[in-house]
Amino acid sequence: MIDYDVDGDGVATITWNVSNRPMNVMNMDTMNAFAEAVDRAADDDDVKGVIVASAHKEFCVGADLSVMGDGDLSMLEDFMKVIHGKFRRMETSGKPFVAAINGHALGGGFEMALACHHRIAADNPKIKIGLPEAKIGLLPGGGGTQRLPRMIGMQQALPLMLEGKELAPAAAKNIGLVEDVVPADELLDAAKAWILGDGQKNKVQPWDKKSFKMPGGAVQSAMGQQAFAAGNAMLHQRTYGNYPAQQNIMSCVYEGCQVDIDTGLAIEIRYLIATAMTPECRNMIRLFFALTEAGKGAGRPKDIPATSYTKIGVLGAGMMGAGIAYVTAMAGLDVVLLDMEQAGADKGRAHAEGLLKKRVSRRRMDQAAADATLARIHATTDFADLAGCELVIEAVFEDREVKADVTKKSLAVTGDGITFASNTSTLPITGLAKASSRPDNFIGLHFFSPVDRMPLVEIIMGKGTSDETLARAIDYVKAIRKTPIVVNDSRGFYTSRVFGTYVREGLALLADGVAPALIENAGKMAGMPVGPLAMADEVSIDLMYKIGKQTREDLGDDYVEVPGDGLVQTFVEDLGRVGKKAGKGFYDYPEKGSKRLWPGLAEHCPPSAEQPDVEEVKKRLMYIQSVETARCMEEGVITEKRDADVGSIMGWGFPPFRGGVLSLVDTIGIVDFVADCDRLAQAHGPRFSPPKLLRDMAAKGEGFYGKAA
């Protein structure tokens, strides 16, 4: 687990070599073993210094999240005390410690390196070094918030921790995270040389010397005061106060860097425990696991052999088709990008070319690789070129007849044994599948725009879609390194349907006389990327109008009117304010400057004299999404709560601190949530009325992820 060795020159090496876990991680077992090795070296008069190394590909990736315990934080507290105690022993043993960073040094792994007197990294650009804890709602609790600012200054250290940045060795050296970068095969020699050389004069950490001064200025200096005043506000602006981990990182640095290191470390443990107890932290850790699972294709039917792809057809070279072609080519697959006109197909290919150029200019790719990627995209108008495609994805105009036509033309070339996918966001898959003689091979692949940046693909099962087809679709989505969720065919599928409730509730609030700025700010304060009215403008109000009209026709008497539906009609039919693309919608979009709410809103939806509390507006905007998702679960539109949460985060920007649209219900508490929804239904309409699924859960006091707290 932890190897220990002393060579003939008195240099001890403590090597992380954890065998019962896939990676070098810190937990009570590994830390106890590490602690024993540290004591052994420290107590041995013949040892001149210690190298901390790894026998794995990675150096150490930090704490095993199991140390968080199951709601019992005394375990975490005990664990942190072992870590802090042993790290202090390393620092004060009188022997120089050096970290030989051969691979990823993340979180607690890098904090261990910070407790060494010196850090040398292998010259491998794939190595990641940093403190990413904030990304899962935690803070660097192994001394990171105290040692990093004392090493490189608060102003450098804070952004690294707040954003959870991970740096390659060269960048890490630039900013002072490591002192040296050497070729990988010279790493241990360089570490040993440092111990026998400079190390003998550097056995005391700077912060353990009386002369220590915070690099870059102290907290209570003019610089420090400005940095914190602005830093607090900028963080507040970015997080809307929704992320306690980031706030607590700021507090650890502010409070802890005004006192000695030991007191600072004690402060850090307090904040770590407080942070770990927050629902935000629990949500983000659960989300982390959910994203990981979903990314691995957890919804894939078992026992079906994996499909590997070589050639994919994409029909329609508009924004979506071009994006799909690009991500497919990036995955190393050949793409036939087909459009009605050659100019259209070429334009789609040029879109990919533009994205590749950007990657090259940002040095994320070399020119040769970019050229090879572009060469994989064949732009054509000839269906015959689809021959040999294992999968064809149509991304043509949202029209049943057009779609049926291209489906038939493609299958005539490829044969109907291949997988055929439709990238529709509105038309039911089961209906579209009728164009194929093999509806069992027909599936929905709903991509999100812009395809190159949005990580989610919503896979839609038609009534006849087979498990084999689903498995093949998931294999493709994994191949292009996106995250699949699986849903069943229904109006709006899952993501569009639930996301639509956010926008519609925004309009309902407007129709109810709530001040538009209050609606928009409430949406953002609740953690949504933009307010619902801005979102309506982005989606375009005429599209909402069309979808609404279609839905009304399809549902007939079953259609449930929502206040605000009329507004869509007014904006499209009477005002011609159809959204951002027209330069006018709920907002005005001046050529210069940022968008402003249209002053005319006051005339069409006069704000009431009495305005609701912002918390109530937030509830309406967020709870409506969770209620609708619960209905989707009840109707079987979506079956995995994991997919529901992941889809909400990746698909429409539901806030990560909530853990997802269903996790929100657990965060509020199922009983309170149902009671609040009943109240909202009374006040605003049956759209808030909790479905039976939620009522049954409330009766049992059980949330989606276990007993209510």
Partner 1 sequence: MADAYIFDHVRTPRGKGRASGSLHSVTPIELASTTLRAIRDRNDLDTANVEDVMLGCVAPVGEQGADIARVAVINSDYAESTAGAQVNRFCASGLEAVNIAAGQIMSGQSDMAIGGGVESMSRVPMGSDGGAWPTDPAVAFHSYFVPQGISADLVATKYGFSRDDVDSYAVESQKRAQRSWDEGRFDNSVVPVVDLNGHTVLANDEHMRPETDMQSLASLDPAFINAGEQFGFNSVAIQRYPEIEKIEHVHHAGNSSGIVDGASAVLLGTKEMGEKLGLTPRARIRSFASIGSEPTIMLTGPSLAAEKALKRAGMEKGDIDLWELNEAFAAVVLRFMQALDIDHDEINVCGGAIAMGHPLGATGAMILGTVLDELERTGQSTALATLCVGAGMGTATIIERL
- Going by C-alpha positions, the residue among 429, 485, 416, 432 that lies closest to residue 455 is 485
Nearer CB in complex with partner 1: 361/594: 594
Determine the interface stretch with partner 1 among 229-237, 308-316, 504-512, 578-586 (rule: CB under 8 A): 229-237
- Dist CA 376 CA 358 (whole Å): 18
Please, is 462 exposed, middle or buried when counting C-beta atoms within 10 Å of its C-beta (0-12, 13-18, 19+)? Answer: buried
C-alpha separations of 285 from 116, 376, 525, 626 in Å:
29, 39, 22, 20
- Tell whether residue 57 is a contact of partner 1 (CB under 8 A): no
446 is catalytic: yes
The one-letter amino acid code at 495 reads T
Nearer CB in complex with partner 1: 251/373: 251
- Dist CA 536 CA 522 (whole Å): 15
DSSP code, position 571: I
HEC string for 151-168: HHCHHHHHHHHHCCCEEC
Q: Which position among 394, 520, 565, 666 is part of the footprint of partner 1 (CB under 8 A)? A: 520
Q: List binders of partner 1 among 673-692 (CB under 8 A).
A: none
Q: What is the DSSP string of 325-369?
A: HHHHHHTT-EEEEE-SSHHHHHHHHHHHHHHHHHHHHTTSS-HHH
Give the contacts of 602 (CB within 8 A, at least 6 positions apart): none
Determine the interface stretch with partner 1 among 13-21, 73-81, 233-241, 659-667 (rule: CB under 8 A): 233-241
Residue count at the site for partner 1 (CB under 8 A)?
A: 34
- Tell whether residue 250 is a contact of partner 1 (CB under 8 A): yes
Nearer CB in complex with partner 1: 293/588: 588
* Given 84, 446, 604, 684, the catalytic residue: 446
- Dist CA 265 CA 555 (whole Å): 62
Q: Which position among 224, 316, 439, 651 is part of the footprint of partner 1 (CB under 8 A)? A: 224
CA-based end-to-end distance of the chain = 37
Nearer CB in complex with partner 1: 602/709: 602
Nearer CB in complex with partner 1: 27/239: 239
Determine the interface stretch with partner 1 among 35-43, 96-104, 502-510, 513-521 (rule: CB under 8 A): 513-521
CB 567 to partner 1: min, Å: 19
Nearer CB in complex with partner 1: 96/224: 224
Nearer CB in complex with partner 1: 77/255: 255
Nearer CB in complex with partner 1: 516/564: 516
Q: Which position among 267, 315, 396, 515 is part of the footprint of partner 1 (CB under 8 A)? A: 515
Determine the interface stretch with partner 1 among 276-284, 518-526, 543-551, 686-694 (rule: CB under 8 A): 518-526
Structure tokens at 468: 């084999």
Q: Which position among 155, 232, 426, 689 is part of the footprint of partner 1 (CB under 8 A)? A: 232
- Dist CA 486 CA 457 (whole Å): 9
Kindly write out the interface string for residues 609-648 of this chain, putting x where it contacts partner 1 by CB under 8 A and - elsewhere.
--x--x----------------------------------
- The answer to whether 395 and 315 are in contact (CB under 8 A) is yes
Determine the interface stretch with partner 1 among 244-252, 414-422, 559-567, 668-676 (rule: CB under 8 A): 244-252
- Tell whether residue 240 is a contact of partner 1 (CB under 8 A): yes
Q: Which position among 20, 237, 305, 609 is part of the footprint of partner 1 (CB under 8 A)? A: 237
CB 515 to partner 1: min, Å: 5
- Dist CA 189 CA 234 (whole Å): 44
Determine the interface stretch with partner 1 among 38-46, 183-191, 231-239, 334-342 (rule: CB under 8 A): 231-239
DSSP code, position 60: B
- The answer to whether 83 and 39 are in contact (CB under 8 A) is no
Structure tokens at 379: 């732009």
- Dist CA 557 CA 458 (whole Å): 30
Q: Which ranges in 331-464 belong to alpha helices (H)?
A: 342-361, 367-375, 400-414, 429-432
- Tell whether residue 277 is a contact of partner 1 (CB under 8 A): no
- Going by C-alpha positions, the residue among 283, 287, 289 that lies closest to residue 245 is 283
Structure tokens at 327: 């991500």
Separate counts of helices (H) and strands (E) for the chain: 28, 21
CB 516 to partner 1: min, Å: 8
Nearer CB in complex with partner 1: 235/330: 235
- Tell whether residue 251 is a contact of partner 1 (CB under 8 A): yes
- Dist CA 319 CA 341 (whole Å): 15
Q: Which position among 149, 484, 516, 527 is part of the footprint of partner 1 (CB under 8 A)? A: 516
- Tell whether residue 228 is a contact of partner 1 (CB under 8 A): yes
Q: List binders of partner 1 among 201-220 (CB under 8 A).
A: 219-220
Give the contacts of 253 (CB within 8 A, at least 6 positions apart): 145, 149, 154, 157, 158, 161, 219
Which value, in Å, is the radius of gyration of the alpha carbons in the chain? 29
C-alpha separations of 593 from 345, 520, 531, 585, 601 in Å:
35, 18, 18, 16, 20
Q: Which position among 525, 671, 681, 708 is part of the footprint of partner 1 (CB under 8 A)? A: 525
Determine the interface stretch with partner 1 among 196-204, 373-381, 511-519, 691-699 (rule: CB under 8 A): 511-519
Phi, psi dihedrals of residue 706, rounded to the nearest 5°: 115, 180
- Tell whether residue 225 is a contact of partner 1 (CB under 8 A): yes
Q: List binders of partner 1 among 553-612 (CB under 8 A).
A: 596-597, 611
CB 252 to partner 1: min, Å: 9
Q: Which position among 57, 126, 213, 236 is part of the footprint of partner 1 (CB under 8 A)? A: 236
Nearer CB in complex with partner 1: 247/469: 247
Determine the interface stretch with partner 1 among 65-73, 131-139, 239-247, 324-332 (rule: CB under 8 A): 239-247
- The answer to whether 187 and 100 are in contact (CB under 8 A) is yes
CB 530 to partner 1: min, Å: 13
- Dist CA 532 CA 514 (whole Å): 13
Nearer CB in complex with partner 1: 367/611: 611
For CA atoms 126, 128, 132, 136, give the dihedral sign. positive
Q: Which position among 57, 81, 238, 364 is part of the footprint of partner 1 (CB under 8 A)? A: 238
- Tell whether residue 535 is a contact of partner 1 (CB under 8 A): no
- Which residues contribute to the site for partner 1 (CB under 8 A)? 219-220, 224-225, 228-238, 240-241, 247, 250-251, 254-255, 515-518, 520-522, 525, 596-597, 611, 614
Catalytic residues: 446
